[in-house]
A and B are shown apart, each in its own frame.
Chain A
Amino acid sequence: MAEATLLDAIRAGLIEEMERDPAVVLLGEDIGRYGGAFKATDGLLDRFGPDRVIDTPISEAGIVGAAAGMAHYGLRPVVEMQFIDFISCAYDMLTNYAATARYRAFLPCPIVVRGPSGGYVRGGPFHSQNPEAAFLHTPGLKIAYPSTVDDAKGLLKAAIRDDDPVLFFEHKYLYRRIKSELPGADDVVPLGKARVAREGKDLTIVTYAAMVWKSLEAAEQLAEQEGLSVEVIDLRTLLPIDDATIMASVRKTNRVLLVHEDTVTGGLAGELTARINEQCFEWLDAPVRRVAAHDVPLPYAPPLEDFVLPQTSDIVRACRWLAAY
């Protein structure tokens, strides 16, 4: 079978779920006739018609609010943010309305809000963001952020089938760079379960999305150059957090590095540090450390962007520091 990209996996996941369940409908800007800014929904208008692939005005709050209303009445809308950066326009609708619907009023609200995320693409401050931390603090939301073809499709299917609002981040740097055979239609990857991307015994890296690949690259270099055995955990789902997989690894290796592309202050790594402190304090042989983006809006020029974002060499250096502690 021909190899598929991560973008193909997203499209395949959408098609499979739309074929399986007539309640699944797509909403977004330029997703129909144009097929989406990254072509994630290419061909879906022809395949499913304008009642299920709905082009909308530029109204992120309006679209998410409408999706919530549709979900109350039995549909399962999947909303595309043209770039995930624009999800901030729908922050109120997601956090105040959709996330609370079940709890405050027993209203079903199974929506998925998905979109291209992340940097390393010279997109500048408004086409490169990783806004996951802004939503981690919202009970009622779930957040997935896959790094592989298998997980992109399998997690998207789980997100669409989930009975609550799910934010689904897709790393655009990985869209066309990651390729493998597409998993089967029944391969659903459950939300809330992390994955051991590489086994190791000396040190654990907990990470997600594009940083999984940089961490794997770093682990490979460290194994070759100094025989260090690094375990890499790919979280896959950021909310709920899979404590069990993280803690099992930390208890095995006793050293942990947290890596994310999002800015360092208030990022997921801070929360993970607290959890590891609460659950694994006695197992730690070194302080928990973080590699994350510097606290600046992401700049456009390549030398600036590369300086701000974590690089493989940063992860290698941090691992050496931890191993030597």
Chain B
Amino acid sequence: MVLPECDPISDIDPLSPESRLALYRWMRLTRTLEERLVALYRQTKVVGGLFRSLGQEACAVGSAFALQRHDAMSPLIRNLGSMLVKGATPVEVLRQYMAKGDSPTRGRELNIHFGDVVDRNFIGQISHLGDMVPVMAGITLTFRLRREQRVGLVYVGDGATSTGAFHEGINFAAVQRCPMIVIVENNAYAYSTPTRMQCAAERLADKASGYGMPGVRVDGNDVLAMHHVTRAAVERARSGEGPTLIEAMTFRRKGHAEHDNQHYVDPAEIARWAEENDPLDRFSHRLQHEFGVDHQTLASVDADVAREVDEATDLAEASPPCDGGEALDGVYADPPSMPTLWYRGDEKSAVARHERPASWGTHDG
């Protein structure tokens, strides 16, 4: 089996049978939902690009599973699984990709770029890689200042470790002892750039020592190891000991986005990861051979997930498109909307609507 060299972990918590099945279910949901998105993409029902996390599901799901609902999380583009674990629903994701009027961002943003800081506590990323690290440093500093027992998890890729924002955010968090966990998903490629062209260090986990914080490298395709290491970092953060950097070793088996045919990667390497180190196959095999789960149980989870995705797809397809005039609402709390420019005089004027919906990102009082 292809397996990058990782730090040894002793006594990985096997979790309860219910939790193991939940992990399997989240990974299966991630993959099935993405496969549905591919179908919709080919039918041109996905408006923009489609970003896959094929082969990286364990990394996303195992780590997010270590969080509680009140903990904060910010994903990167390949963390659909983390979003689902944290409470984002398939229909929300489908509406986002299909740019529907009732999508979580009402058509303003793409894919999993959406947030909920009120209940489920995830913060959609922006496309500028590394920027979410300082943002999560600030969120977790807030938790620390309020003496709340909450932590924050932020994901970046191997490419984002080259950015200034990554450095500034992680250094800020280390100095302020923020209860933050940074997961660097090292999937070998940033778009077409291999990690060795991104960074001269052997191990991205080694960056941690330069910030005075622990760094650990883990097998990102082993969902139980991923969960175990993240949970240890979460507990460390929750007990006031500051941030941890986790480098999760995995492999991107699709192109940067669906349009990218990945010609810059040796097809044999992709095939090897698919055959020997698929995180779902690995976990499914372990569940059956190590933990005594019967095939029937897993098949029924798969069927449940397929049904859930079918229902979500029907809902999303029936969702209304966006109304163009709403594009002018909500740049500011005050004024609530921009006037249309003069050459659109006969179009619906947004300035006439001066209501300020309570859900529009303003703390009352």
Contacts and interface: CB of A to CB of B under 8 A. Distances in A.
Nearest to B115: A105
A12 B133 CA distance: 33
Given A102-B361, A163-B333, A93 B145 contact: no
Contacts of A107: 115, 117, 123, 361
Given A66-B134, A70-B138, A240-B335, 7 more contacts: A57-B171, A62-B165, A97-B128, A103-B330, A105-B124, A142-B332, A278-B342
Contact of A104 (B108, B137, B141, B175): B108
A119 interface: no
B176 to A, nearest CB: 8
Interface in B97-155: 105, 108-109, 113-115, 117, 123-124, 126, 128, 131, 133-143, 145
Contacts of B138: 65-72, 77
B172 interface: yes
B4 to A, nearest CB: 30
A201 B137 CA distance: 54
A63 interface: yes
B332 A140 contact: yes
B334 interface: yes
Q: In which size bucket is the chain A interface? A: 35 or more
A67 B138 CA distance: 6
Given A69-B134, A92-B128, A96-B128, A57 B330 contact: no
Interface string B332-352: 111100100010000000000
Nearest to B121: A73
Contacts of B135: 65-66, 68-69, 72, 97
A166 B11 CA distance: 51
Contact of B137 (A66, A72, A105, A162): A66
A108 B185 CA distance: 29
B289 interface: no
A64 B255 CA distance: 33
Nearest to B124: A105
B261 interface: no
A73 B128 contact: no
B362 A108 contact: yes
Contacts of A140: 331-332
Interface string B154-185: 00000000001100110110011000000000
Interface residues of B, number: 46
A77 B135 CA distance: 13
A74 B146 CA distance: 11
B141 A164 contact: no
B300 interface: no
10 contacts: A65-B133, A66-B138, A69-B139, A69-B140, A72-B117, A73-B72, A92-B128, A93-B134, A103-B331, A105-B361
A74 B142 contact: yes
Contacts, number: 150
Greatest chain B CB density within 10 A among A54, A100, A108, A163 is at: A163
Contacts of A51: 145
Contacts of B115: 72, 105-107
A159 B359 CA distance: 22
A192 to B, nearest CB: 9
B42 interface: no
B360 A106 contact: yes
Nearest to B74: A69
B137 A69 contact: yes
Interface in B303-341: 330-335, 338
Interface of A: 25, 51, 54, 56-57, 59, 61-75, 77, 92-93, 96-97, 100-110, 139-140, 142, 162-164, 240, 278
Contacts of A101: 361
Contact of B134 (A54, A61, A163): A61
A70 to B, nearest CB: 4
A73 B131 contact: no
A73 B117 contact: yes
B79 to A, nearest CB: 16
A279 to B, nearest CB: 10
A259 to B, nearest CB: 27
B263 interface: no
A70 B172 contact: no
Contacts of A66: 134-135, 137-138, 141, 169, 172
Contacts of A57: 168, 171-172, 175
B363 interface: yes
Contact of A62 (B126, B140, B172): B172
A54 B131 CA distance: 21
Nearest to B106: A106
Given A105-B114, A142-B332, A163-B334, A70 B108 contact: no
